[in-house]
Amino acid sequence: MPIRLSFFLLLSLLLAPVVHALTAEEARGIAIGETEARVEALGKALATADDKTAAFLQALSEDAVKFAGDKVFVMKDDKAFDPVTGAALELPGDAEDVINNNMMRGEIEAAQAGLKLFSKDLKQRREGIKGLQGQSDESRLPMIEKALAAETDPQLKAQLELIRSAVLLSSSDKAKRLAAAAALAQSGQTSTKTLLIERLKEESDPEVKAALSATLRTVEGALAWGDKLGAAFSGISLGSILLLVALGLAITYGLMGVINMAHGELMMIGAYATYVVQGVFQKWLPGAFDWYLLAAVPVAFLASALMGAVLERSVIRFLYGRPLETLLATWGISLMLMQLVRTVFGAQNVGVENPSWMSGGWQVMGNLSLPYNRLIIIGFAAAVLLGVALLISRTRLGLFVRGVTQNRPIAACMGVNTARIDTYAFALGSGIAGLAGCALSQIGNVGPDLGQGYIVDSFMVVVLGGVGQLAGTVYAALGLGVLNKFLEGWAGAVLAKIAVLVFIIIFIQKRPQGIFAMKGRSAEA
């Protein structure tokens, strides 16, 4: 009785004009006393609710309300405030916490969702609708129908209609249940599937039962498509990350023949450079924090490129033409770089925050949401790929790199400073690894072992695509990413990794040159 009463009182919020704000009496009634009396007081307060009422309900939901005698206090940062005036108060020594049982918490959550349904802020209304999804209590119907009549956004209106249909599945009217079952066929929500399964167990009418079964099959079909598209998107997202990591390696290994086992650590440097730039913006430019990533991209590139240039001039330049020795040397360098980072930043992972414009996602289907940070990383990988392709094929530096790669003695005879070009090329590959680290910092924590999880995969991408072939790198990265994600859904993460590795071994056995073989005299050398 009290639960249903509160929702009908909530309906009065929609019909009655606001004549006053939250009062001390209302705050006492909501916070102190038996649950039934508190629920009734909550319903009455909602009839004239304002921002202070909403703030008080939020404090109640967070267990941040105390009382002493007939006085109520809202706690914030260990300080007490009046819930009506907001004035600071002295908290008595005998103050007790307000305890909310499950029934009261449900009423508070429903009241908060109901208040949000009629907010002028679109985001607030969206949150209110999300709070009502999966509900089947018919007492909520008046509030939902009133919100449906007032809603102007087509997308939110459609979501409210689905919530209304879910509630009507419990109606005693057979015609309403049939209409609700037909309307829910448009839903692709997992909660709708659960609700339909529960209703099928309780439904006794054969006609309604058949309609519910047909709707369930339709919803399951939509969910299956959502799962497939989600796996494809996850594969493309993983492929874009592998592409970013492997692009730099395609230059240092594919074009220069250096087996750089420190490539992952160069990527780690780019990630930590992003972390440092974030800290600078948080401390010195907090108002421009949303744009710190635009500054972090060139910083990550330059930090990794500078480290790569130092490594090439001090170690790598003496090991050209000796791939096994470059492998051993760069493996030792990778251990040194990891220890250096542990010394400077500590052994624990550090967090890098997403800017607000990278937070959230695009809801495509009921069970398919595309995160903005993943979408932006896919676009970033495409931009980096385009930049590298243009640099290698259209610029003077790219011409020199290709010339030195194909025939170093002839390039030297033509006046090309081959030692300088080697440094530039290695720095470029290292800088691209830094860009990969910057991107990876937006989807996970940054730690000293960050690069270890990608070095093997990036080598597999380069070898599978064809040594020195950018197009092959693209095909291999995206192909392995999508294949890996689909196999994960079928066989699990560990078996998927094993299956991908077996596939690559078999492929390389049959086609050692990779997807795209080198052509011309360089391939014969």
> What token pair was written down for 452?
């270890």
Q: What is the pLDDT of residue 254?
A: 64
Could you tell me if 240 and 101 lie in one domain? no
Q: What is the pLDDT of residue 115?
A: 75
The enclosing domain of 519 has a CATH number of 1.10.3470
DSSP 77-127: TTEEE-TTT--EEPPPTT-EEPP--HHHHHHHHHHHHHHHHT-SSHHHHHH
Cα separation, 74 vs 72, whole angstroms:
7
Could you tell me if 113 and 250 lie in one domain? no
> What token pair was written down for 208?
């309604």
> What token pair was written down for 365?
């289907």
Look at residues 117, 136, 171 and tell me which one is the last residue of a structural domain.
117
Could you tell me if 107 and 235 lie in one domain? no
Q: What is the pLDDT of residue 342?
A: 94
Q: Reduced to 3 states, what is the DSSP secondary structure of residue 235? A: helix
Number of CB atoms found within 10 A of residue 249's CB: 29
Could you tell me if 110 and 232 lie in one domain? no
Q: How many domains does the chain have?
A: 2
136: in domain: no
Scored b (16 or more CB within 10 A) or e, 299-335 reads bbbebbbebbbebbeeebeebbeeeeebeebbeebbe
Q: What residues make up the domain containing 340?
A: 226-524
Could you tell me if 237 and 382 lie in one domain? yes
Look at residues 117, 147, 181 and tell me which one is the last residue of a structural domain.
117
410: in domain: yes
35: in domain: yes
Could you tell me if 250 and 373 lie in one domain? yes
| pTM for this predicted structure | 0.74
Phi/psi of residue 511, each to 5°? -140, 80
Could you tell me if 305 and 437 lie in one domain? yes
Q: Is 70 exposed, middle or buried (0-12, 13-18, 19+ CB in 10 A)?
A: exposed
Look at residues 95, 117, 139 and tell me which one is the last residue of a structural domain.
117
133: in domain: no
- Residues 369, 374, 378, 383: what is their CA dihedral angle, to the nearest 10 degrees? 130
Q: Reduced to 3 states, what is the DSSP secondary structure of residue 519? A: coil
Could you tell me if 290 and 414 lie in one domain? yes
Q: What is the pLDDT of residue 136?
A: 61
Q: Tell me if 132 sits within 8 A of 163, measured CB to CB.
A: yes
446: in domain: yes
67: in domain: yes
Cα separation, 121 vs 69, whole angstroms:
37
DSSP 175-201: HHHHHHHHHGGG---HHHHHHHHHHHH
What residues have CB less than 8 Å from 459, skipping those under 6 apart? 249, 253
84: in domain: yes
97: in domain: yes
- Residues 341, 343, 346, 348: what is their CA dihedral angle, to the nearest 10 degrees? 60
pLDDT tens, residue order, the chain (525 aa): 444 444 444 444 444 444 456 888 888 888 888 888 888 888 777 666 777 888 888 888 888 898 888 888 999 888 888 888 888 888 888 888 888 888 888 888 877 777 777 777 888 888 777 777 666 666 667 777 777 887 888 878 877 888 888 888 878 888 888 988 888 888 778 878 888 888 888 888 989 899 989 989 998 898 889 889 998 999 999 899 899 989 988 888 866 778 899 999 999 999 999 999 999 999 999 999 999 999 999 999 999 999 999 999 999 989 888 888 999 999 999 999 999 999 999 999 998 999 989 988 888 887 888 999 999 999 999 999 999 999 988 999 888 888 887 787 888 898 888 889 989 999 999 999 999 999 999 988 899 999 888 888 888 888 888 766 778 888 899 988 888 888 887 878 788 888 888 888 888 888 887 877 655 444 444
Give how far Cα 509 sits from Cα of 301, 476, 503, 506, Å. 36, 16, 10, 5
